[in-house]
Amino acid sequence: MLTLRLTKDLMKDMKVTSIEETNAASFLSWHVNIYILNKRKHIVFVNDLTRLAIIVDGIRTGQLERLKEKFMLTLREYLLQEGFNETLINKYLEYGAEVVISKTNNRSVLGTMKEVTWFVEDDFYDNIERLKWLNRMIYKPINYKEPIHYFIESLWDHRNYNIV
């Protein structure tokens, strides 16, 4: 089960009122926020454990189901472009069959999200190139590793899928 932890602004935009508090493994938990990039609304997802960032666009107000679908598709496409093993990707995405919406609970992840959304304009010709650039930044909360490499390590470790 994946947990999407929406900020107050995004909950309001998605018209979500019911919040389910859940204890999810940090590898299966994503903080989510609304973000204006190149004068268009985007939604940014940051993984709680690895700080991997995924950005999607084309989501309108109240389209929560579309948001979930687009996130899963973008994550899959991005990981394939990075050369991940498709079996590992499918294993991770199986947890996305059930998605729980909750509220944010980690200020450290929110701080990383603020760093990811620092730029309001860029000149990347596609989203995958933007994600490749973003996920090669080094962050202190993950021991100065790059999120993409830490995500690869975490995919192999079965302990990351267990609820703490």
Q: What is the pTM of this model?
A: 0.94
Percent over 70 (pLDDT), the chain: 98
What is the H or E stretch that residue 149 is in?
helix 147-156
State the pLDDT at residue 140.
Answer: 87
Per-residue pLDDT of the chain (164 residues; tens, 9 = 90+): 899 999 999 999 998 876 767 788 899 999 999 999 999 999 999 999 999 999 999 898 989 999 999 999 999 999 999 999 999 999 999 988 888 899 999 999 999 999 999 888 888 989 999 999 999 998 888 999 999 999 999 998 888 888 75
Q: ∠39-68-49 over CA atoms, to 5°?
A: 90
State the pLDDT at residue 111.
Answer: 93
Spatial CA neighbour of 55 closest among 32, 39, 38? 32
State the pLDDT at residue 158.
Answer: 83
